[in-house]
């Protein structure tokens, strides 16, 4: 009898020395665990010894057997395993990791979002660079009128440094009477800056999400009146259509 008492006391002492090994996992009752769905943080709360509720209001029953927690919502079951990761206690199962600290899954979402934003920015820059390379250089359009012996011409240069220059020559033909004809020449020059811009509202990397922005040398926009005025030198014929560089007239690269 005395031996049993000493043995029991010794066992209790050893149990106290290694509490976690003897007592097993702490009760889940009253604890809330948070997890990431990839886009938002949700939670499960073990409100009673065998009952719990999700952040969506769904009740469930559960049974804890050591480090294994079996959950039954009535619509299906899940098995979670209790363990530690980097010194933090977790529940894991069904592709999710549950933490008692809500900040941890939130940080996972933030990190994933930032990584996606970096990937979008990198892909957008790649596509923009492709379009810039297609546009860089000198483009010329000419239309010869052999009858009146003149040539309308427009030359636009898109430089790699983001600047552009244009020179334009057009002719007006005025008739008076049956035989009198006067040909008047008009010239214009323009310059400014250009860039390929990406619409962040687009959810794909399609090149159709890009636009060509042609501005004045100080970066200000041309007004609608200036865009339609030959004298402004604005190269209005160039734009991006269906993800490709396009021009209203048949410009040829020089």
Which of helix, strand or coil describes residue 236? Answer: coil
Under 8 Å between Cβ of 83 and 67: yes
Instruction: Give me the pLDDT at residue 7, please.
Output: 34
Instruction: Give me the pLDDT at residue 188, please.
Output: 95
Instruction: Give me the pLDDT at residue 204, please.
Output: 56
CA–CA separation, 235 and 229 (whole Å): 10
Under 8 Å between Cβ of 100 and 90: no
For the chain, the domains span: 2-101, 128-253
Residue stretches of the chain with pLDDT short of 50: 1-23
Q: pTM of the predicted model, to two decimals? A: 0.60
**Chain centre to alpha carbon of residue 123:** 9
CA–CA separation, 159 and 166 (whole Å): 11
Instruction: Give me the pLDDT at residue 206, please.
Output: 59
Instruction: Give me the pLDDT at residue 181, please.
Output: 85
Instruction: Give me the pLDDT at residue 236, please.
Output: 86
Closest listed residue to residue 140, CA positions, set 46, 237, 62? 237
Instruction: Give me the pLDDT at residue 123, please.
Output: 83
CA–CA separation, 153 and 158 (whole Å): 17
């Amino acid at each position: 009898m005395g031996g049993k008492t000493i043995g029991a006391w010794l066992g209790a002492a050893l149990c106290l020395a290694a509490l976690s090994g003897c007592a097993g996992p702490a009760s889940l009752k009253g604890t809330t665990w948070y997890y990431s769905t990839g886009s938002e943080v949700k939670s499960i709360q073990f409100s009673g010894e065998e009952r719990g509720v999700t952040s969506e209001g769904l009740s469930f029953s559960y049974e804890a057997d050591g480090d294994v927690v079996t959950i039954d919502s009535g619509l299906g079951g899940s098995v979670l395993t209790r363990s530690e990761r980097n010194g933090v206690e977790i529940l894991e199962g069904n592709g999710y990791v549950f933490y008692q600290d809500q900040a941890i899954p939130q940080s996972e979402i933030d990190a994933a979002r930032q990584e996606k934003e970096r990937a979008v920015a990198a892909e957008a820059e790649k596509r923009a660079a492709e379009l810039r390379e297609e546009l860089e250089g000198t483009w010329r359009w000419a239309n010869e009128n052999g009858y009146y012996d003149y040539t309308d011409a427009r030359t636009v240069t898109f430089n790699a440094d983001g600047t552009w220059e244009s020179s334009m020559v057009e002719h007006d033909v005025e008739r008076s009477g049956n035989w009198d004809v006067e040909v008047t020449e008009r010239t214009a020059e323009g310059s400014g800056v250009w860039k390929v811009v990406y619409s962040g509202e687009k959810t794909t990397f399609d090149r159709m999400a890009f636009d060509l922005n042609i501005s004045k040398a100080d970066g200000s926009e041309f007004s609608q009146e200036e865009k339609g005025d030959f004298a402004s030198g604005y190269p209005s014929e160039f734009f991006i259509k269906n993800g490709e560089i396009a021009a209203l007239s048949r410009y040829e690269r020089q």
